[in-house]
């Protein structure tokens, strides 16, 4: 079993949360839906919010009967179920491949005296290695594609420094669409979507069960480390109760609010959805 010490999943603004986080028995996860580039909605939600919820709900439904299955088989069933739900929800609105919903995820599973870490996309898992140092697990090609978007944003702001957030989005959306066409393709990047091919590209490792904390986080919460430099991986392992995690989230939101997203730490969203879960093997 995994004991949950803290769990955060917070929308970065007034729109519905495009992240999800959860746990069941020997499993814990965070999911980060990728903001759609088509502007379409599914059942009144953005593609990203719909897909993150669909994956989260499917995990909660299938895990109670999946203890004997390999993780890849569980993930295949999740993708197949979500693909079927997507087809039913959009049967009258065909989507191009790059307009299909997608999400990054991090998944932790206890297997006896080992912990299995699985990631796809830019969600990551933090654990303490045998040398006592905090380590971040999970590699992805997504940052290289995000840098292309930021480069387009810099060019747009150089030409028009007073662009509104909506205006900047209009300037970079073609780059975002170009990036999305590289989803789950050779030479591109791999994320969870409505195809099972990506499951061959997960990042996976196992570590011993030592009773120490393990944290899972979406890139929105990881901003504290990666973007703003206000926390370390070791700090995340210290967020071992709900009050500490909520305090870290408040710090993040204060930093985001004070920092100009166009002329400070460049980003398309001033505040991003943020998910974090810290567990200990019970």
- Position 20 confidence tier, pLDDT thresholds 50, 70, 90: very high
* Confidence at residue 94, expressed as pLDDT on a 0 to 100 scale: 66
| Number of other CB atoms surrounding residue 234 within 10 Å | 13
Tokens of 102: 């997608």
Contact 52, 33 (CB under 8 A): yes
* Confidence at residue 85, expressed as pLDDT on a 0 to 100 scale: 95
What are the tens digits of pLDDT across the range 95-145?
A: 787 889 999 999 999 999 999 999 999 999 999 999 999 999 999 999 999
Q: In whole angstroms, how far apart are CA 155 and each of 57, 59, 129, 270?
A: 40, 41, 41, 19
Contact 81, 58 (CB under 8 A): yes
| Number of other CB atoms surrounding residue 232 within 10 Å | 14
Name which of 278, 5, 282 is nearest 128 in CA terms.
278
The end-to-end CA distance of the chain, in Å, is 5
pLDDT of residue 93 exceeding 80: no
* Confidence at residue 161, expressed as pLDDT on a 0 to 100 scale: 95
Contact 40, 70 (CB under 8 A): no
CA distance 222 to 136: 11
What are the tens digits of pLDDT across the range 236-249?
A: 999 999 999 999 99
CA distance 200 to 135: 24
pLDDT of residue 188 exceeding 70: yes
Dmax over Cα atoms in the chain, in whole Å? Answer: 57
Residue 62's SS3 state is: helix
Tokens of 240: 């071992």
Contact 122, 227 (CB under 8 A): no
Residue 114, H or E segment:
strand 114-120
* Confidence at residue 37, expressed as pLDDT on a 0 to 100 scale: 85
Mean pLDDT across the stretch 221-245?
A: 98
* Confidence at residue 38, expressed as pLDDT on a 0 to 100 scale: 78
CA distance 192 to 200: 11
* Confidence at residue 125, expressed as pLDDT on a 0 to 100 scale: 98
Burial class from Cβ neighbours inside 10 Å (0-12, 13-18, 19+) for residue 261 reads: middle
Of all residues in the chain, what percent are helix, strand and coil, respectively (each to 5)?
40, 25, 35
HEC-encoded secondary structure of 119-164: EECCCEEEEECCCCCEEEECCCCHHHHHHHHHHHHHHHHHHCCCCC
pLDDT of residue 92 exceeding 80: no
pLDDT of residue 32 exceeding 90: yes
Contact 198, 101 (CB under 8 A): no
Residue 218, H or E segment:
none
**8-state DSSP, 206:** E
pTM of the model: 0.95
What are the tens digits of pLDDT across the range 241-278?
A: 999 999 999 999 999 999 999 999 999 999 999 999 99
Helices (H), 46-141: 47-62, 71-89
Name which of 174, 203, 201 is nearest 187 in CA terms.
201
What are the tens digits of pLDDT across the range 66-91?
A: 888 999 999 999 999 999 999 999 88
Calculate what percentage of the chain has a pLDDT beyond 90.
89
pLDDT of residue 40 exceeding 90: no
Average pLDDT, the chain: 95
């Amino acid at each position: 079993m995994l004991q949950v010490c803290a769990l955060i999943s917070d929308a970065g603004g007034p729109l519905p949360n495009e992240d999800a986080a959860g746990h069941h028995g020997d499993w814990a996860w965070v999911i980060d839906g990728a903001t759609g580039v088509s502007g379409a909605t599914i059942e009144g939600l953005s593609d990203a919010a719909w897909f993150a919820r669909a994956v989260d709900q499917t995990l909660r439904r299938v895990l109670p009967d999946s203890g004997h299955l390999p993780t890849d088989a569980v993930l295949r069933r999740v993708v197949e179920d979500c693909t079927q739900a997507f087809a039913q929800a959009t049967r009258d609105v065909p989507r191009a491949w790059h307009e299909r919903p997608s999400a990054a995820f991090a998944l932790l599973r206890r297997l006896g005296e080992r912990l299995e870490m699985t990631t796809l996309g830019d969600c990551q898992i933090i654990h303490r290695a045998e040398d006592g140092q905090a380590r971040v697990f999970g590699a992805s090609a997504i940052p290289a594609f995000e840098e292309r978007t930021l480069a387009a944003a810099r060019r747009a702001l150089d030409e028009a420094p007073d662009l509104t957030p909506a205006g900047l989005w209009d300037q970079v959306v073609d780059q975002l669409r170009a990036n999305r066409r590289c989803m789950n393709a050779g030479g591109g990047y791999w994320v969870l979507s409505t195809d099972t091919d990506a499951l061959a590209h997960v990042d996976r490792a196992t570590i011993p069960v030592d009773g120490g904390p393990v944290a899972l986080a979406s890139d929105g919460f990881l901003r504290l480390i990666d973007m703003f430099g206000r926390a370390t991986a070791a700090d995340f392992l210290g967020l071992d109760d709900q009050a500490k995690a909520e305090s870290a989230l408040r710090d993040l939101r204060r930093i985001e609010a004070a920092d100009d997203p166009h002329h400070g730490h460049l980003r398309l969203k001033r505040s991003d959805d943020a998910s974090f879960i810290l567990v200990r093997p019970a």
